[in-house]
Amino acid sequence: MDYYGQHMSKLVEELGRLPGIGAKTAQRLAFHIVNQPENTVSNLAQAIVNAKANIKYCEKCYTMTDDTLCPICKSPKRNESVVMVVENAA
């Protein structure tokens, strides 16, 4: 049953698609977002849009970065004879 209307239901549904976010947490997040000032919500939305548009993978090590090379690969102090392997950057 749709207790809160289509906009709230859609927000809960989309938040619930995020990894690790169940239905109850999605609902809590939706209520939190709706109760925030307009500029706070706009800043969050813009940060998501900007991240999607501007974050890319480093051409050398494939970590996420805003530039062609990440700060580590770009650094002249980087020791290129050492390799660190990680399963997941997060």
**Alpha carbons 81 and 90: distance in angstroms, whole number:** 24
Tokens of 90: 């997060």
Among residues of the chain, what percentage have pLDDT more than 90? 74
Q: Say which residues have a Cβ less than 8 Å from residue 72's Cβ, sequence separation at least 6.
A: 61, 63, 78
Single pTM value for the model: 0.77
Check residue 43 and report its DSSP letter.
Answer: H
- Exposed, middle or buried, 88 (CB in 10 Å: 0-12/13-18/19+)? exposed
8-state DSSP, 24: H
pLDDT score for 78 = 87
Q: Can you give the pLDDT at residue 1?
A: 56
Q: What is the pLDDT of residue 21?
A: 97
Question: In this predicted model, what pLDDT tens digit does every residue of 3-32 receive, in sequence order?
Answer: 789 999 999 999 999 999 999 999 999 999
Over pLDDT 70: what percentage of the chain?
Answer: 96
Predicted local distance difference test score (pLDDT) of residue 87: 78
